[in-house]
Amino acid sequence: MIYSFQELLLLSAAAIVIDWIIGDPRWPTHPVIWIGRWIRWIEKRLLTDRHRKHPFAGRSLGCLLTVSTMLLCMGTVWGIVAIADFIHLWLGYAVSAWLISTTIAVKGLKDAAMLVYTPLANGDLPEARRYVGYIVGRDTSSLDEREVTRATVETVSENTVDAFVSPILFALLGGAPLAMLYRGVNTLDSMVGYRNDRYRYYGWCSARMDDLLNLIPARVTGLCMIIAAAILPGMNPWRALTSIWVFARRHPSPNSGIPESATAGALGIELGGRNVYFGTVSERARMGYPLRPISIEDTRSVIRLLYVVSCMVGIGVVLTWFVVR
């Protein structure tokens, strides 16, 4: 099972369309659910109280977790596609396109953000807090309307990389197996990549691998957001560019600061500030130019930014296919 670059381009384009239409249904058979179950299963067998407190043992076991998850994700998907390919070439194409679509989540991200926006618009702050708690790692029980909106805007911005650009770029390089490898690493980071007492050492490898894999996609996303800001009314591409240049490096992540600062600059708002993770206060760098306060409508604005970026990438994939062909 070796697909040409032309085939990978078409498969990636098909996956984008599938995600736009179907989205990210939470079926029990969804690959990400199985990846999460694997991570929890192996954690119960590897991570003991003694190991998690020891830097060398914790990091060694964390490296084992990361490598095994990457190999399992890539190998399993390669086997599934190979079997489908053996049965019939077009079945292999269909399975590949569907598997790639499960690694991206544009519609799912939009739906999750709107589940926060709708109760906020209706004045139901507790309900909005509940739904934003599903998509962010910070404590949300005491957030006000502004902070709920900020959390939503930040996670949609950051996940424009994680939930779309990165998996598509990996799919273009190696089809469904490589896209699923990326999704496995990203799932690891979201589950164990925390600097708390439990995962400080065990999650170190997963977090660093996620940073490495997102290094180029994050910068591609930043460029796409600048162009998208030039297309969308009410957004400012020059401010998005300068915001990336000035503020992105202040973010603790080498990648997340790029899409977040681009969004802040494009919208003329300020992101970052005080977050609470598992009872620990974290003061995040403030990014962007606060020309106005954050409003709940910024949720809809960042969704438009997400969709324009996804359209640009989709069109770019199709145009590249025509050029290569």
Residue among 20, 110, 18, 168 nearest 304 (CA) = 110
In angstroms, how far is CA 50 from the centroid of its own chain? 32
Dihedral (Cα; 154, 155, 157, 163), 10-degree rounding: 170
Residue among 108, 132, 106 nearest 119 (CA) = 132
Predicted model pTM? 0.94
**Average pLDDT over the chain, rounded to an integer:** 92
Q: What is the pLDDT of residues 37-69, one digit of tens each?
A: 999 999 888 887 777 777 888 889 999 999 999
- pLDDT score of 1: 67
Residue 1, classified by CB atoms within 10 Å of its CB into exposed (0-12), middle (13-18) or buried (19+), is middle
Is the Cβ–Cβ distance between 179 and 171 less than 8 Å?
yes
Evaluate the CA torsion angle 5, 7, 12, 13 in order and state its sign: positive
**Predicted confidence (pLDDT) at residue 193 exceeds the cutoff of 90:** no
Dihedral (Cα; 208, 211, 213, 219), 10-degree rounding: -160
Residue numbers of the domain that contains 117: 5-324
Q: Between the CA of residue 53 and those of 57, 61, 152, 206, 291, what are the distances in Å?
A: 8, 12, 33, 17, 45
Q: How many domains does the chain have?
A: 1
What count of other Cβ atoms lies within 10 Å of the Cβ of residue 19?
26
Q: What is the pLDDT of residues 302-313, one digit of tens each?
A: 999 999 999 999
* Cross-strand pairs, 282: 275
- pLDDT score of 211: 96
> What six digits make up the tokens of 49?
């109280």
